[in-house]
Amino acid sequence: MEKQYKAIGEEAWKNNAEKINAELFIFTYGSLVVQLVKDYENYSAVNKQLDKMGYNIGVRMVDDMMARTSLERCTGFSATAEVIAKVGFKLFLNVIPTVANWSADAKEFSLILDDNPLNDFCELPPKAVADGLRYSNVLCGVIRGALEMMQMQTEVEYVRDVLCGDDVSEIRVKLLRMLDEEVPASDD
């Protein structure tokens, strides 16, 4: 099963994904964060904004992922985690985070990113680290948005970040509940 997701991700990335220059992407993201920091002058507000942007991206991105792959309905939350790592991250960022640290009730897991492309060329000023800026917080929003479209309400949090001195980056995903089919709320 795990092998299969990996193959689907690989295949989709190779054949169906349009690629852009990685550096352009990284610079663009960096400039965006700089602008947010200037506008909000408060790092937790920036984190919140990044998460919100990510949410709006994720809501659309999951559709795109489905269109580019031939995935079937996930059998459980653990399969969902595998798909996020091996298909989602692979397709859009060309990295595969490790799924780890499952909680006992199998409703929480971590994505461990050895290499986060967004971090390239980036160094945070000490004040940003001290005040808890989560530079790649957009990823949390993306995951949350994407899962919400799949009827899963989640809480996603950046718990460790290489840019803040940790040895790896870790994103914690927690399943809160399954949503009923309903008309999606308008995005903001």
- 34 is a contact residue toward another protein (CB under 8 A): yes
- 28 is a contact residue toward another protein (CB under 8 A): yes
- 30 is a contact residue toward another protein (CB under 8 A): yes
- 67 is a contact residue toward another protein (CB under 8 A): no
Considering the complex, state which of residue 32 and residue 79 has its C-beta at the smaller distance from another protein: 32
Considering the complex, state which of residue 24 and residue 183 has its C-beta at the smaller distance from another protein: 24
- 45 is a contact residue toward another protein (CB under 8 A): no
Looking up tokens 């949410």 gives: 55
Number of Cβ within a 10 Å radius of residue 184: 9
By DSSP bridging, strand 169-178 and strand 152-160 are antiparallel
Which pair of tokens denotes residue 16?
Answer: 């169906």
CB 62 within 8 A of CB 150: yes
**Residue-by-residue DSSP string for 1-41:** -HHHHHHHHHHIIIII-----HHHHHHHHHHHHHHHHHHH-
Considering the complex, state which of residue 63 and residue 155 has its C-beta at the smaller distance from another protein: 63
**With CB under 8 A as the contact rule, which of the stretches 20-28, 50-58, 147-155, 166-174 interacts with another protein?**
20-28
Binding site for another protein (CB under 8 A): 20-21, 23-24, 27-28, 30-32, 34-35, 39, 121
